[in-house]
Amino acid sequence: MWRIRTVPASTPADWDRLRALLAQSIGPDTSDPYALSLLFRTYLAEPRPAPPAAHAAMDRALALQPDSYEVRLLAVYSLAMRGRLEEIQASDPHSGMLGKRALDSLGTLRSSSPLPCTSGATPC
């Protein structure tokens, strides 16, 4: 993923090949939260609107490993991209100022206009 992201000549087909390899590695066993979240992360890195399957992978990753800070952060992105801000919860007792900034940002998101992919123009 790093190589594709850093090479200016990379194409959407390069990303599709990477995602196909990830999907193949996940296969029918959807119990690896790292692989599931990595699939979603490729859409943040490209960037391209994530399809429903990528969001479903992120939902599954969160269900499997809710205690992972990285998985929770990616889940927040996924929920926000789908306009599901009411489902986002901030619950890290050790976050201090980072947690306060996250809550402030969440408040700003909730009071702003919908993201482009939640208006029906772009599928999420």
Q: Tell me the whole-structure pTM to 2 decimals.
A: 0.73
Neighbours of 89 (CB within 10 A): 11
**DSSP label of 49:** P
Which of 2.60.40, 1.10.3470, 2.30.29, 1.25.40 is the CATH number of 2-118? Answer: 1.25.40
Neighbours of 108 (CB within 10 A): 9
pLDDT score, position 74 = 92
For 54-98, what is each residue's pLDDT tens digit?
A: 999 999 999 999 988 899 889 988 988 898 877 877 655 566 666
Break the chain into its structural domains and give their ranges: 2-118
Q: In the chain, count of helices (H) and strands (E)?
A: 6, 0
pLDDT score, position 71 = 92
